[in-house]
Structure 1
Amino acid sequence: MKDQKQQQEDYCVKIPLLFEGGDMGTKADEVQYTNIAGNASFMNTCFNGLNALSGVGILSIPYALASGGWLSLILLFLIASSTFYTGLLIKRCMDIDPTIRSYPDIGDRAFGKTGGTIVSITVNIELYMVATGFLILEGDNMSNLFPDMDFYIYGTHIAAKSGFVILVAIIILPTSWLNSLSILSYISASGVLATVIILSSIFWAGAFDGVGFEEKGKLVNSNGIPSAISLYAFCYCAHPVFPTLYTSMKKQHQFSKVLFLCFAFCTITYSLMAVLGYLMFGSDAESQITLNLPTHHISSRVAICTTLVTPIAKYALMLTPCVNAIEARFQSSYNKRRCSFLIRTMLMISTVIVALALPFFGYLMSLVGALLSATTSITIPCLCYLRISGIYRRFGVEVVVVGFVVLSGLVVAVVGTYVSLVDIINHL
Structure 2
Amino acid sequence: MSKEAAASSIQAGSRDQPDRGDEDDGETTPLLAQGASRGASFASSVFNLMNAIMGSGILGLAYAMANTGIVGFSVLLLLVSSLASYSIHILLTLCDQTGLKSYEGLGEIAFQKAGKVLVASTILIQNIGAMASYMFILKSELPATIHSFLRTEASGLWYEDGGILLILVTVCVVLPLALLPKIGFLGYTSSLSFFFMLFFAVVVVVKKWSIPCPLPVNSTLSLQMSSPTPSSNFSGSDCTAHLFVFSSKSAYAIPTMAFSFLCHTAILPIYCELHRPTKRRMQNVANVSISLSFLVYLVSALFGYLTFYAQVESQLLLGYDAYLPHDVLVTVVRLFILLAVLLTVPLIHFPARKAVLMLFLGERRFSWIAHCLSTFLLLLVVVLLAEYVPDIRNVFGVVGSTTSTCLLFVYPGLFYLRINSHDIRSCSSTKAGALVVFGVFVGLLSLCIIILSWAQMSF
- TM-score when scaled to structure 2? 0.77
Correspondence list, 1:22-421, <5 A: 36=36, 39-70=39-70, 71-98=72-99, 100-145=100-145, 146=147, 149=154, 161-162=162-163, 164-171=165-172, 172-208=174-210, 215-216=239-240, 219-253=244-278, 254-293=281-320, 294-328=324-358, 329=360, 336-356=367-387, 357-359=389-391, 361=393, 367=398, 370-390=401-421, 392-393=423-424, 395-421=425-451
Q: Which amino acid aligns with 2:83?
A: S
Q: Distance in 2 between the 1:72 and 1:309 partners?
A: 28
2:352 counterpart letter in structure 1:
C
Identity percentage of aligned residues? 20
Q: Which residue of 2 aligns with 1:21?
A: none
Secondary structure of 1:108's counterpart equals helix
**Equivalent-residue separation in structure 2 for 1:364 and 1:284 (angstroms):** 27
Separation in 2, partners of 1:178, 1:287:
36
Q: Deviations over 1:168-225 (max 9, x none)?
A: 4344333222222232111111111111111111222222465899743663243123
* Distance in 1 between residues matched to 2:433 and 2:167, nearest whole Å: 44
The answer on whether the counterparts of 1:57 and 1:235 sit within 8 Å (CA) in structure 2 is yes
Q: Is the 8 A contact 1:69 1:217 kept in 2?
A: yes
3-state SS in 1 of match to 2:209: helix
Q: Give every structure 1 segment of 4 or more consecutive aligned residues whose post-TM-superposition deviation is greater than 6 Å.
A: 211-214, 331-335
Q: Which deviates more from structure 2 when the two are superposed, residues 414-423 or residues 122-131?
A: 414-423
CA contact (8 A) 1:212 1:280 kept: no
The amino acid that maps onto 1:326 is V
**8 A Cα contact 1:374 1:412, kept in partner:** yes
More displaced stretch, 202-211 vs 306-315: 202-211
What are the superposed Cα offsets for residues 94-130 of structure 1, whole Å, 9 maximum, x if unpaired?
Answer: 00011x2211111111111111111111121111111
**CA distance in 1 between partners of 2:386 and 2:456 (Å):** 18
State the Cα deviation string for residues 28-55 of structure 1 (Å, max 9, x = none). xxxxxxx755621212211111111123
Cα pair 2:264 2:407 within 8 Å, conserved: yes
Q: In the aligned structure 1, how far is the partner of 2:256 from the partner of 2:301?
A: 12
Shift of 1:411: 0.7
Are the aligned partners of 1:132 and 1:351 in contact in 2 as well (CA < 8 Å)? yes
Which entry has the higher C-alpha Rg, 1 or 2? 2
User: Unmatched 5+ residue regions in structure 2?
Assistant: 1-15, 216-237
Distance 1:268 1:212 in 2: 28
Q: Contact (CA 8 Å) 2:27, 2:276: kept in 1 or not?
A: no
Asked if structure 1 preserves the Cα contact closer than 8 Å seen for 2:107 and 2:115, the reply is yes
Match of 2:229 in 1: none
* Aligned-residue RMSD, C-alpha: 3.3
Cα deviation 1:72-106 (Å, max 9, x = unaligned): 442222111111000011100100011x2211111
Q: Which amino acid aligns with 1:101?
A: K
